[in-house]
Structure 1
Amino acid sequence: MLSWILSRLAIKKALLLAAFIFTPGSNASSLIEERTASLATNAQCELTLGWGDWAPYQFVEQGDSPTGLQIDLVKQIAEQANCELKFVRQPFSQNIQSVRDGSVDFTMDTTVTAERQKYALFSEPYRQEVLVLYVKPQFVNQCSGKSFSDIVKSGVRIGLTQGNIYGDSVSKVQNTPQLNKKLVYANKNANLIDLLKSDRLDGFFEDPTVLSYSLRKNNLSGALKSCKITVYSGTVSFMFSKKTVSEKLVSRFNQALRKVKKTESYLMNWAW
């Protein structure tokens, strides 16, 4: 399976151009001060990462320990930064909230927004993300020359994951109550496949490599076709809680990221 994943990443490289647990009521500023004081000597730090299932980038194969291409990447960066990682598994929307309240130190796969910058610090971009709309084969013709709004108006049931940012065209639909009620929301990405199998939606947005892996794993090859609509193509970063992580620690993480970007494994899997 690993060789298949790597081959898919090679084929789609043009598209892929990717602890201190804060206790509510504790003194967040003193935690940041302690971490900042240790940076001068590059002392070991501890960071809690909030992560969610998104194979083949991150998933659980056996037991509770996460694995996958993106887990390997963040471990490599943390090792270079001399940071020990702890992992908290939860849906993406909960990871965003946990960064906001400081119950995890950072999470992955995040787009920088003005709203998020109020409570979070961001690393330099670490990979390119592409999200494409996939629909059941019988709806592909309805995509031709149509906007996302047109597709939703036509009655095609499109699934979205709570907390994800899909770009302006989707945001406009979400901000229109009459259209937003036609969308089907899932708590996590993996649930979109379940909704498809139970015929509760007709399509959803996904990373091409993740979609190919998911369909193959669920014996659903051919169940979805590209709608030729790419709603988001841009960089993603690690997002750190302002309540528990200092700017200096993010800078140290960025320095480690730059070194990892020069390695053979990064260039093979993530370079764009």
Structure 2
Amino acid sequence: MSLPRRSVCLLPLASARAWGAGTEIAPLRIGWSDYPPFQHGTAGEPPQGLDVDLLEMLARASGERLQWMRRPWARQMADVARGELDLVPGATPSPDRLVFGDFTQPYRQERVALLALAGEPQALRGLSDLKGRAVRIGAIRGVAFPAAVRRALEDPELARLVVPLHANDLTLSALRSRRVDYVIDDPSTMNWRVAREPGAAVQVVLELAVSPVHLLVGRPLLAQRPTLIQRLNQGLQAARRQPEWAHVLARYPGY
């Protein structure tokens, strides 16, 4: 069956609107969750935070647009694998994630620490000191830790102490309610919550790692745009050369 001449002429235009150059390019669907100061906001409003500011700069320098879509952290990975999201910010590489996505160059650093309520006696040299103790370690479900932390938690004696927390905003409440004795998290997000939610203070017990984080790009999108990671990496380098990049980091002490 042949198509009318007008329909044939419109096919390249439709393709360009989906994946073409310039202003017609489709926005990249990127997940965000309640993870201050990196990503935070209220339902129905655009998100704010360090990741949002940096990645909007990266996108502009790459000639891309971002469509921010709120998702729980664990769901973001599943949605990328299904092609329902294109990007996940603040992602740490891990072997299982390479099955459904690939990573840009890192765009910032993230601290990983063991935290507990302040004022309680703590004398730990490493996570292995917790083996054999009647304690619970909260960890956000779906998080990939840096390799050294991941290997430590694979020890069966430690693995059975881990309590999955189903959202980023549960780390502080789990500690204060004593559902867990420790949590593994970035101290920046914990301190942000402590400053805004009255109650017991929290302290860093062990600094576990400083880890680079990346944009995870889903393989369904890369199958259609195989040079996208190169394009985003070039945009990242261009964005870092702009004075505004340093200005953004200055608004978030420690980064």
Q: Which amino acid aligns with 2:203?
A: K
What is the alpha-carbon root mean square deviation over aligned residues? 2.6
For residue 209 of structure 1, report the CA deviation from its aligned partner: 2.1
Equivalent position of 1:53 in the other structure: 34
Aligned length: 235
CA contact (8 A) 2:59 2:232 kept: yes
Separation in structure 1 between the aligned mates of residue 186 and residue 63 of structure 2, nearest angstrom: 31
* Cα-to-partner distance string for 1:169-225 (whole Å, 9 max, x where unaligned): 5434543444323222111221111212322112212223222211101124x6211
* Larger-gyration structure (1/2): 2
**Alignment partner for residue 201 of structure 2, among 223, 232, 244?**
223
Is the contact made by 2:114 and 2:182 (CA closer than 8 Å) also made in structure 1?
Answer: yes
The answer to whether the aligner puts 1:107 opposite 2:84 as a matched pair is no
TM-score (norm 1): 0.76
Identity of aligned residues (%): 23
2:49 to 68, 80, 87: 68
Deviation at 1:43, TM superposition (A): 5.5
CA gap 1:134/1:140 in 2 versus in 1, 3 angstroms: farther
Using the size of structure 2 for normalisation, the TM-score is 0.81
More divergent stretch after superposition (42-51 vs 256-265): 42-51
Summarize the Cα distance change of 1:62–1:36 in structure 2 as closer, same or farther, 3 Å threshold: closer
The correspondence of residues 74-223 of structure 1 with structure 2, limited to 5 A, is 74-143=55-124, 146-168=125-147, 170-172=149-151, 174-220=153-199, 223=201
User: Could you say what secondary structure the match of 2:65 adopts?
Assistant: strand
Q: Which runs of 5+ in 1 are unaligned?
A: 1-32
Quickly say closer, same or farther: Cα 1:47–1:126, change in 2 above 3 A: same
Conserved 8 A contact 1:158-1:203: yes
Q: Provide the rounded CA distance (Å) in 1 between the counterparts of 2:17 and 2:183.
A: 41
Task: Name stretches of at least 5 consecutive residues in structure 2 with no aligned partner.
Answer: 1-14
Structure 1 residues 249, 35: CA separation in 2 closer, same or farther (over 3 Å shift)? farther
Counterpart residue identity of residue 147, structure 1? G
